[in-house]
Amino acid sequence: MFYLFAAVAIGASLLVIAQRNPIYSVLLLIGSFGALSGLYVMLDAPFVAVIQIIVYAGAIMVLFLFVVMLLNAPHEDTEYDERVHPLLRPGPMRLGALLALLLGIELLWALGRGGESGVFPGGAVTSVAVIGRSLFTDYAFPFEVTSILILVAMVGAVVLARRDTARDRRDRGGV
């Protein structure tokens, strides 16, 4: 099961960055999140798994999809040939891919040096009540801070995305 979910997650993520059309990228990313959610279930964290689906796949990705559909700009405009696949373009792109590959190898190397790896112990915290209690006692301050962060982000998003009506009117020639 682990290998199935892992393969889906890696495959979908690879395809996310290899798609030309952002709509497909968003959908593949949802698939990847689904696989990760399955992994969370295997890690005895069903609550996180469900939250992953609700928040990530259900809310954040709908937002992405919404914007992609709204902009409706499937083509990636670069100085490079449009027909070349995005991952195979020359120049600085190659360097970027190389750097990412280097990072991956480095991480794997570091993990390989870690030596003995623990088999998971028996007792796992699966109860929602325990998580909630911990969230509202030990982590009460970070919790409040994130709520303020969300509020600020909400206001910021509204301000940024709002059309500046007064200036628009002037641009159109004082209609």
Partner 1 sequence: MAGAASGGSASLTPLLIAQIVLTLFVFVMLLNSAAVMVYFERKVAAVLQQRIGPYLVGPKGLLQPIADVIKLMFKEELRPRAADPLLFALAPIISATAAFAAFAVVPFGASTTFFGLLKEPLKLQVADVNVAVLVIFAIASMGVYGIVLAGWSSNSKYSLLGGLRSSAQMISYELSYGMALASVLLIGNSLSLTDLVNGQAGVWLGFIPRWFVFLQPLGFLIFMTAGIAETNRAPFDFPEAEQELVAGYHTEYSSMSFAMFFLAEYINMVTVSAVATDLYLGGWHGPWLPLSLGWIWFLIKVGAILFFYVWMRWTLPRYRYDQLMAFGWKVLLPVSVVNLLVTAAGVLYFGL
Partner 2 sequence: MVTLNHYLILSAILFAIGTAGVFVRRNLITILLSIEIMLNAVNLTFVAFGRALGSADGQIIVFFVMTVAAAEAAVGLAIVISLFRHKESLNPDSFASLKW
Query: Shortest gap between Cβ of 175 and partner 1 (angstroms)?
Result: 23
Q: Quick one: which of 81, 83, 113, 120 contacts partner 2 (CB under 8 A)?
A: 120
44 vs 141: CA distance, rounded Å: 26
Told to check if 124 binds partner 1 by CB under 8 A, we report no
Question: From the list partner 1, partner 2, none, which binds 8 (C-beta under 5 to 8 Å, kind-based)?
Answer: none
Nearest to 86 by CA among 22, 10, 8, 9: 22
Q: Quick one: which of 96, 140, 144, 171 contacts partner 2 (CB under 8 A)?
A: 96
Which CB sits closer to partner 1, 74 or 156? 74
Tokens 């495959």, residue? 11
Token pair in block for residue 12: 């979908």
Instruction: Name 53's Cβ contacts closer than 8 Å, sequence gap at least 6.
Output: 33, 34, 37
The answer to whether 87 and 17 have CB atoms below 8 angstroms apart is yes
Q: Quick one: which of 7, 69, 103, 155 contacts partner 1 (CB under 8 A)?
A: 69
Tell me which residues touch partner 1 (CB under 8 A). 23, 27, 30, 46-47, 50-51, 53-54, 57-59, 62-63, 65-66, 69-70, 128
